[in-house]
Copies of this chain bind each other. A is one copy, B any other.
Amino acid sequence: MSSAVANEKAIDLLKALAEPIRLEIIESLSNGEKCVCDLMQETDLAQSKISFHLKVLKEAGVITDRQSGRWVYYKLDIRALKSLQNWIKKLRKGCLSEASSCE
């Protein structure tokens, strides 16, 4: 059977990445942890918009958050991109298909 669960998670990851604003956020966070206010300044976008995209990224497992006082800091969770790379590798090898016998 095809790895349906893995595929669903991968789809969430792919969708999370497939959006310009979210990519901008990710690229910003690759320079380190940031609070929402930092991201607002950098991107010049409305707060609700940023929070919306942060939520999508968080739910996909791309980022994690941590509250400190009245700030909420977001940072990348490296494992997400790592697992996506792994998934794509399998896809390339045809290891996700029904008929595959990769191991």
A72 within 8 A of B: no
Q: Please tell me the number of chain A residues within 8 Å of chain B, measured between CB atoms.
A: 32
**How many copies are assembled?**
2
Are A11 and B18 CB-contacts (below 8 A) given A31-B94, A84-B88, A99-B31? yes
Q: Which of B20, B88, B98 contacts A11 (CB 8 A)?
A: B20
A36 within 8 A of B: no
A51 within 8 A of B: no
Nearest-Cβ distance from residue A36 to partner chain B, whole angstroms: 18
Q: Which of B14, B23, B89, B91 contacts A30 (CB 8 A)?
A: B91
Nearest-Cβ distance from residue A68 to partner chain B, whole angstroms: 23
Residue numbers in B under 8 Å from A100 (CB-CB): 30
Are A85 and B96 CB-contacts (below 8 A) given A11-B20, A18-B11? no
